[in-house]
């Protein structure tokens, strides 16, 4: 697959990237090579391949769900400027 000089200039304008004339010809070659590689990868037969979520089939180790901290809600709310029914009251910032 090839990419035209006009396409490269159009993308450069959209991306707001300044590309010199020498760079356009180099980009034309490089992007053409990349698109050829993508075409080769697309041609590979993957019908019998099962999709992977992770290449190592890693399993996350889980810890038991246990409470490890003590309830300090009353102590924290005692030093708060304003609370009501267990909630912190804050000044309104949006009208």
Closest CA to 31 of 11, 61, 46: 11
The residue with tokens 């304008």 is 13
For the chain, the domain total comes to 1
Owning domain of residue 11: 5-42
pLDDT digits (tens, 9 = 90+) for 3-62: 899 999 999 999 999 999 889 989 999 999 999 999 999 999 988 888 887 778 778 889
Q: Domain containing 22 — which CATH number?
A: 1.10.20
Is 0.85 topped by the overall pTM?
A: no
Is 92 among the domain residues?
Answer: no
Alpha helical stretches, state H, the chain: 5-14, 21-42, 73-78
């Amino acid at each position: 697959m090839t990419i035209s000089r006009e396409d490269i200039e159009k993308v450069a304008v959209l991306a707001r990237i300044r590309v010199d004339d020498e760079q356009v010809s180099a980009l034309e070659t490089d992007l053409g090579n990349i698109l050829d590689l993508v075409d080769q990868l697309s041609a590979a037969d993957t019908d019998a391949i099962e999709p992977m979520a992770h290449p190592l089939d890693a399993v996350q180790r889980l810890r038991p769900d246990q409470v490890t901290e003590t309830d300090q809600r009353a102590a924290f709310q005692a030093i708060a400027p304003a609370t009501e029914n267990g909630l912190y009251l804050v000044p309104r910032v949006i009208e």
